[in-house]
Amino acid sequence: MSDRKAPRKKLLKALAGEKANGIPVWLMRQAGRYLPEYRKVRAEAGSFLDLCYTPDFAEEVTLQPIRRFGFDAAILFSDILVVPDALGQKVAFKEGEGPVLEPVTDLAALAKLSSPDVVRGKLAPVYETVTRLSGSLPSETTLIGFAGAPWTVATYMVGGRGSPDQAAAKAWAYRAPDEFQMLIDLLVEATVEHLSAQVEAGAEVLQVFDTWAGSLPELSFERFALLPMKAIRKKLKERFPDVPVIAFPRGAGGMAERYFRETGVTGLSLDTGVSPAWARDNLQKAGCLQGNLDPLLLVAGGAEMRRQALHILETLGQGPFIFNLGHGIVPQTPPEHVAELVRLVQEWRS
């Protein structure tokens, strides 16, 4: 292989299973309300979706945490709910309430959604943002594109909003699994198109967020979380054999090992509940791991944050590893704590 083809960026090296010089670090939701410069652009943009769909704004807020902290990766600023929006389900983000959608709870509503091929046209401004970012990021920074996993996106589409127990989506999935499967299949296709368009625009790594995977019992997890991810991974591999895919099956617990092996994803993002030593012994041989500091330790900062970050580094830092949180940064996080955490990871030597 020529030198030119060898991955040189730290994050790509870790995903290729190579020993990098130091551990790469980025944080889920690294752009967002904890940053004053984000709140300023957010206010200027008006609605949250306008922020996502205006390349000038979306590029700027993606770059903000890179300028401030020098993360090894930038994640496109967007949201998992742009896919249902593109499919024709009206999505609004209400202040203090989160996303609100007109619920899709039966076949009649499902039939009104568009086919997956509309995604590329409808989300053109998102891909324009990716193109711009691939030109404006520092040369050592990896650009991550993303999407929500079918199950997690379906929980919002069916429930019409976020919910602690995903009861609405479960009601449909358990009452009429073959009907619910049609929604999942539509989302598999739409997600593949959305992720493919991001790669074509310059994304170097893809992450798929299955935030609510952990609420599914084994047989439903297999059908609605594991198999859809496996199908997405397979289709992406056919189109882009060299593009790594990281999956975040939050709360997968005892299903994590099978999920990692059977989906064939390159990297597995661990939630806070996973023991680093268990992950090292049972998961790291299947590929690169990412995670898993509690976002609330980042709020607290200080000695306890440092102690637990070092515990993760010392346990997982010998294998292919990317330092991250176990879930997204929360709005009350002091930016100084983020700076301190990044410094700690960058200065750590295995």
72 has which bridge partners? Answer: none
The catalytically annotated residue of 34, 38, 42, 250 is 42
Please, which residue, 215 or 284, has the CB nearer to ligand 1CP?
215
The catalytically annotated residue of 33, 161, 258, 306 is 33
CB of 98 to ligand 1CP, least distance (A): 4
Q: b/e string for 274-313 if b means 16 or more Cβ within 10 A?
A: bebeebbeebbebbbbbbbbbbebbbebeeebeebbeebb
- DSSP of 200-261: HHT--EEEEEETTGGGS-HHHHIIIIIHHHHHHHHHHHHH-TT--EEEEETT-GGGHHHHHH
Please, which residue, 99 or 319, has the CB nearer to ligand 1CP?
99
Please, which residue, 221 or 315, has the CB nearer to ligand 1CP?
221
Per the annotation, the verdict on 156 as an active-site residue is: yes
The catalytically annotated residue of 34, 53, 127, 156 is 156
The catalytically annotated residue of 34, 53, 72, 79 is 79
Q: Which residues bind ligand 1CP (CB under 6 A)?
A: 28-33, 42, 48, 75, 77, 79-81, 93, 98-99, 146, 148, 152, 162, 209, 211, 328
Q: Are 163 and 100 in contact (CB under 8 A)?
A: no
Per the annotation, the verdict on 29 as an active-site residue is: yes
In terms of phi and psi (left: phi > 0; alpha: psi -120 to 50; beta: otherwise), the region of 302 is left
CB of 303 to ligand 1CP, least distance (A): 27
CB of 218 to ligand 1CP, least distance (A): 22
- Residue 84, C-beta contacts closer than 8 angstroms, at least 6 positions apart: 91, 101, 153, 156, 157
Per the annotation, the verdict on 8 as an active-site residue is: no
Among the listed residues 97, 5, 1, 90, the one whose alpha carbon sits nearest the alpha carbon of residue 49 = 90
- Residue 59, C-beta contacts closer than 8 angstroms, at least 6 positions apart: 77, 129, 132, 133, 136
Per the annotation, the verdict on 33 as an active-site residue is: yes
CB of 340 to ligand 1CP, least distance (A): 19
Please, which residue, 270 or 284, has the CB nearer to ligand 1CP?
270
Among the listed residues 284, 281, 295, the one whose alpha carbon sits nearest the alpha carbon of residue 250 = 295
CB of 174 to ligand 1CP, least distance (A): 21
Please, which residue, 79 or 85, has the CB nearer to ligand 1CP?
79
The encoded tokens of residue 193 equal: 């198109």
Residue nearest to ligand 1CP (CB): 162
The count of other CB atoms within 10 Å of the CB of residue 177 is: 14
Q: Are 172 and 179 in contact (CB under 8 A)?
A: yes
CB of 14 to ligand 1CP, least distance (A): 18
Please, which residue, 32 or 287, has the CB nearer to ligand 1CP?
32
Per the annotation, the verdict on 34 as an active-site residue is: no
Catalytic residue numbers, as ranges: 29, 33, 42, 79, 156
